A and B are shown apart, each in its own frame.
Chain A
Amino acid sequence: MAKKDAPPRWDRRMQQRLARGEAAALGELYDRFASLVHGLAHRVLGDERAADGITREVFAHIWENADAYDPKQGPMRSWVATLTHRLAVQRLRATETAALARGGHGTTEELERKVRSASVAARADYIVTSMPAPLRAALELAYFQRRDYRQAAADLGVTEDEARRRLRLGLQLLSTAHDAGPAGAPPEYGGAR
């Protein structure tokens, strides 16, 4: 498929435009990734203003360090997601640690558990938005609309075998959200390859 080459080409070109200081490119970058960045940050931090703050940080970081992105390492989308994840988790740990130091209740273990759980939730969101649309549609039907797999198959116009396959595959992909390193370490935001 011809479209297979498209994302890397777009990524490369975007990086060049950002690196040479083209403000219009920054706007396009925002239009493409703002909802991804804000959504992930919100999932980790659970707060609108904090997510706004991370969004500002992420785009400023990219704008100032466009050279840091290497198109050979993967899609820009993954790079942006990884950066967002790292900054958001850092922020969460910093605010939680500060709260603990001020005499808030809780333990360091609870803090780590909270950070890890926020981290996994954000990674899961990313996986869901990145998975093939047919898998996402099947999960949507089974989970949110409470359709059983036979009904889902009918809704999707596929065989029951295929519906079962999609549900299983979708969950398998999603389960990799748990496969991050030690708590808080940025997981790999892999793309298609």
Chain B
Amino acid sequence: MALGERDGYEEQGHEGYEEDGYEEDGYEKDGYEKDGAYEGQAGAGDGGVEPEEVSADGGEGSQGPGGPQGPRGPEGPGGSDQGNGEEPGKPPRIPPPRSSVEDTGRPLPEPAAAPAPTPTPLVLEHRVLKSLLGAWALAACSAEETAAVEEHLGDCGSCADEALRLRGAVGLLHPPESLDLDPTLRTRVLEGCLDRRPPRIPVPEWAAPYDAETARLDALLQDIGGAEWHAPVRLRWFDGATPVSRRTTVAGVIAHLLSVDGLVALALGLDDPLGPTGPASEDPTPEGRTEAYWRGSHFPPTRSVRGPWREQSHNLVRTVSFAGGGSGRLTVPYGGFELPLRDSMLDRAFECWVHAGDIADAVDYPYEPPAPRHLHRMIDLAARMLPGSLAARRRAGLSTAPTRHLVAAGAPGRSLRLEIEGSGGGDWLIPLDSPGTAGSADREVAHVALDGVEFCRLAAGHVSPEEAAAGQDGDREAISEVLFAAASLSRM
């Protein structure tokens, strides 16, 4: 929260994300003009600095004006000046600037603040001396200027007052605390609120993973610096036969998420982030839309893509909330295939997590898997899509095991037991012969056991079917087919 904290939204000028702080022409009116409010305050103690204020957190210790007072010490600079106010009319005695000895480990600049003897005293006009007070309080002016200011403070009550006040303010500067908000706090806070006052318009359960994952990614983006937005990221997926990849940047990944989330936005009647007449209409697949977005922007994507992405994700959650739980049956076309909205929102949550992981790797941040119940829903979606993926591979001639067992639709068919371990896991029976058949424990021919996160890495195309760490038992051909089908769920 303190000085130096990066404000991720600063650069983009997106109206919804502007800080409500002082604006350039706003604070001028508050009387802080360069020669404004403090000009006329000649009388010491006239609405200005009260000594107790300055020494409130100082006081004890640090009596020596020349003592090495680091800016972070518990004693605020200026702590030695208690009692000056007892001599109204006389300018308070000001301690010299803090020593430049610092515990930051940073290289120190030239010792500007060192009390070097100044053979030729600098003569400066009052206006200049006054303008130096801030730099002086921060020990950020030359030795000659420091001496000139301190000489002046002995004669000028109003400057002395201000100097004391500014020196006190320096003690309030804190190094930014590295307070990464615990990502699980959001869920706990929101649930606590909703328990106390049930919402009239809830977020549908199937949209909760998307809400949580987009918030997590946004928190990561808030923490990364400007240069890191251009860190290289390799998007990886599995095209059915081999792993493929596409090189982009952190900002490019967010542009990708924005473009593909836009499919859901379109299905809900919201604006297309690619624009109403974008080239995307030619190729409405996730990959086609992403390439179109990357091509369409004049410059490579920058951090400015964060605002539109976040606004759209907020809008999606808000819109499906108003549409209600029943809207989950609406259809979202992906160009080539489609998903019901409730699954599409899960799919987008999954993609958001996967790509957040890509970004976190690229900028060397830790990133945890989703909450177990959200992870469970994502795994469940992948498990439900496996029979379709098996069939698509057979149709495309990618399968090495053509169907040998014709089974009537709805009847129990040969099945593989997919056992997902870890939190969020469970057991799924995958029908092997046709999406139309039902999984059957009696006709189980193989058993595969995977860790939940490993399974998701497989389904995201981040680990190849051959390399996935899977415990296997039974029909080896069936197992191989299912692992390849899982990897084939991935796409750009």
CB distance from B319 to the nearest CB of A (A): 9
Tell me whether B27 is interfacial, beta carbon within 8 Å: yes
Tell me whether B314 is interfacial, beta carbon within 8 Å: yes
Specify which chain A residues have a CB less than 8 angstroms from the CB of B56 in the assembled complex: 113, 116-117, 120, 178
Checking B1, B20, B106 against A75 with a beta-carbon cut-off of 8 angstroms, the contacting residue is B20
Q: Mark A1-32, 1 if CB is under 8 A from B, else 0.
A: 11110110011000000001111111110110
Is chain A's binding surface mostly helix, strand, loop or mixed?
Answer: helix
Contact between B135 and A168, CB atoms less than 8 A apart: yes
Specify which chain B residues have a CB less than 8 angstroms from the CB of A161 in the assembled complex: 131
Specify which chain A residues have a CB less than 8 angstroms from the CB of B314 in the assembled complex: 24, 27-28, 31
Specify which chain B residues have a CB less than 8 angstroms from the CB of A150 in the assembled complex: 142
Contact between A24 and B201, CB atoms less than 8 A apart: yes
Specify which chain A residues have a CB less than 8 angstroms from the CB of B337 in the assembled complex: none
Q: Mark B202-227, 1 if CB is under 8 A from A, else 0.
A: 11000000010001001000100000
Tell me whether A92 is interfacial, beta carbon within 8 Å: no
Tell me whether B174 is interfacial, beta carbon within 8 Å: yes
Please, how many angstroms separate the alpha-carbon atoms of A144 and B200 in the complex?
A: 48
Contact between B32 and A169, CB atoms less than 8 A apart: yes
Is chain B's binding surface mostly helix, strand, loop or mixed?
Answer: loop
B interface residue count range (under 10 / 10 to 19 / 20 to 34 / 35 or more): 35 or more
Please, how many angstroms separate the alpha-carbon atoms of A104 and B165 in the complex?
A: 34
Q: A117-B57, A143-B173, A171-B170 given as contacts; is B23 within 8 A of A24 (CB)?
A: no
Who on chain B is nearest to A123 by CB?
A: B172
Who on chain A is nearest to B33 by CB?
A: A169
Of the candidates A25, A35, A136, A167, the one having the most CB atoms from chain B within 10 angstroms of its own CB is A167
Contact between A121 and B199, CB atoms less than 8 A apart: no
CB distance from A119 to the nearest CB of B (A): 10
Please, how many angstroms separate the alpha-carbon atoms of A170 and B3 in the complex?
A: 11
Who on chain A is nearest to B316 by CB?
A: A24
Please, how many angstroms separate the alpha-carbon atoms of A172 and B28 in the complex?
A: 12
Tell me whether A67 is interfacial, beta carbon within 8 Å: no
Contact between A130 and B21, CB atoms less than 8 A apart: yes
Contact between A172 and B179, CB atoms less than 8 A apart: no
Q: A20-B201, A22-B318, A27-B215 given as contacts; is B189 within 8 A of A55 (CB)?
A: yes
Which positions in B face A, CB cutoff 8 Å?
A: 1-5, 7, 10, 13, 15-16, 18-24, 26-27, 32, 34, 38, 49, 53-54, 56-57, 71, 100, 102, 104, 106, 108-110, 112, 131-135, 137-138, 140-142, 162, 165-166, 168-170, 172-175, 177, 179, 181-182, 185-186, 188-190, 192-194, 196-203, 211, 215, 218, 222, 310, 314, 317-318, 321
CB-CB nearest 6 A-B residue pairs: A39-B1, A168-B134, A21-B200, A167-B134, A130-B21, A124-B172
Pick 7 A–B contacts, CB within 8 A, sort by A.
A7-B20, A24-B317, A31-B186, A129-B2, A129-B7, A140-B3, A192-B27
